[in-house]
């Protein structure tokens, strides 16, 4: 027991009530309501949706590929210079080809895409395009081959 202001004994650990005696507040929304999901969880859903849209045609090739989300690209990918493969100063994703016993990995960067998107629909479309571009890069194909609708959006 520790002593609280005013000389009253208070058990160690988190407070059970706030200073007005109303108790801890509950969640703002039930967990099954979309508003209860965090931005990163919604972004993960966009990536999973993009992968699911590609699976009917490319499921065999993508079965051993892992898809990941990172907040921002590593500093070494932000270096601008003549050796740079992309014209974008900030990459939206990358591919790590399979090496040894580890599978190929497609990584999508959340923060640069969120900064570029105007709204949720735009973000979903951007995420889908980045996943298509990275899968195309991994398979050695054009993005239009991976997703025929890609050409219409660009």
DSSP count for the chain of H helices, then E strands: 5, 5
Mean pLDDT, all residues of the chain: 83
pLDDT at residue 100 greater than cutoff 60: yes
Neighbour-count burial of 76, counting CB atoms closer than 10 A to its CB (0-12 exposed, 13-18 middle, 19+ buried): exposed
77, 96 contact by CB (below 8 A): no
Q: Under 8 Å CB-to-CB from 128, ≥6 apart: which residues?
A: 46, 49, 50, 53, 147
Question: How many other CB atoms are there within 10 angstroms of residue 124's CB atom?
Answer: 18
> Which runs of E-coded beta strand occur in 71-132?
93-96, 105-109
pLDDT-derived band at 153, boundaries 50, 70, 90: confident
pLDDT-derived band at 4, boundaries 50, 70, 90: low
pLDDT tens-digit map of 5-29: 555 555 565 555 556 666 656 666 6
- Cα distances (angstroms) measured from residue 11 to each of 2, 4, 21, 35, 49: 6, 9, 16, 35, 47
pLDDT tens-digit map of 49-69: 999 999 999 999 999 999 999
103, 138 contact by CB (below 8 A): no
């Amino acid at each position: 027991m520790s002593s609280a202001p005013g000389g009253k004994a208070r058990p160690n650990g988190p407070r059970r009530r706030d200073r007005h005696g109303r108790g801890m507040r509950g969640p703002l929304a039930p967990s099954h309501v979309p508003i209860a999901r965090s931005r990163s969880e919604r972004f993960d859903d966009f990536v999973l949706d993009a992968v699911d849209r590609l699976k009917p045609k490319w499921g065999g090739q993508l079965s051993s590929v892992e898809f990941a989300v990172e907040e921002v690209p590593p500093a070494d990918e932000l270096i601008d210079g003549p050796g740079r493969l992309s014209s974008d100063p900030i990459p939206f994703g990358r591919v790590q080809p399979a090496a040894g016993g580890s599978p190929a990995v497609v990584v999508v960067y959340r923060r640069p895409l969120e900064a570029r998107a105007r709204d949720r629909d735009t973000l979903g479309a951007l995420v889908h395009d980045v996943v298509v571009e990275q899968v195309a890069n991994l398979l050695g194909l054009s993005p239009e081959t991976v997703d025929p609708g890609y050409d219409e959006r660009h």
